[in-house]
Amino acid sequence: MIDAAQSRRPSTGLDADAVRVAYRRWAGVYDVVFGGISGWGRRRAAAEVNRLPGARVLEVGVGTGLALPYYAPEKRITGIDLSADMLRLARTRVQTEGLTNVEAVLEMDAEQTSFADASFDIAVAMFVASVVPNPHRLLAEMRRVVRPGGKILFVNHSAAEQGPRWWVERAMAPASQALGWHPDFSFKGLLDPKDYAAAQIAPVPPFGFFTLVRLSN
């Protein structure tokens, strides 16, 4: 029997190599295809980071660096990503836009980083929870590298609970490996019931298609 929690988990089909291959294809057109669509969510997440206490910020899944210009100058940013192709574009952005508060952009697996415990005040993952092979490991690793009392943020598409979009997202789920993300991702599959109850969860204006989630560590 499949329980309710299992039914909300993203479908399988992604692993680290599949993600690298997918984003090698996407890298050259990512900003054009996804930059505008995701812009509201990235700006909202960066604004939340900027208003939180603490300077040491880890951006998980920094990609081409689309969010990097939105951080306040006093925030010290480390970005990581699994895709070397995306990171080349992020490093170019840092240089061309003179983003001196970006301290490092590193190739690293978000589910198993090399950072020491409690290295950061804040960790933020923008449109990453639906990309990683194991979202639970992602959350556990973010908890490990954020200090006690620090904050963990996610902004992401989350699958509809019903209606036409529910059917479309689940019909696309078998294509996860080719797409490089889980169309049927749900925050209820990322957070255990205790975390889900404690999290601050809000739709991102203007359309509410993306969701911002904030957790205390």
Per-residue pLDDT tens over the stretch 121-137 = 999 999 888 888 888 99
Domains of the chain: 4-216 (3.40.50.150)
Return the higher-pLDDT residue of 209 and 22: 209
Q: Whole-number mean pLDDT of the chain?
A: 80
| Residue 9, pLDDT score | 41
Q: Is the pLDDT of residue 99 over 90?
A: yes
- 190 pLDDT band (50/70/90 cuts)? confident
- 211 pLDDT band (50/70/90 cuts)? confident
- Which amino acid makes up residue 189? G
Alpha-carbon gap, residue 80 to 58, rounded angstroms: 8
Q: Is the pLDDT of residue 171 over 90?
A: no
Q: List the one residue out of 208, 210, 212, 189 whose CA is nearest residue 199.
A: 212
Q: Following DSSP, what letter does each residue of 150-182 receive, concatenated? A: EEEEEEEE---SSHHHHHHHHHHGGGHHHHTS-
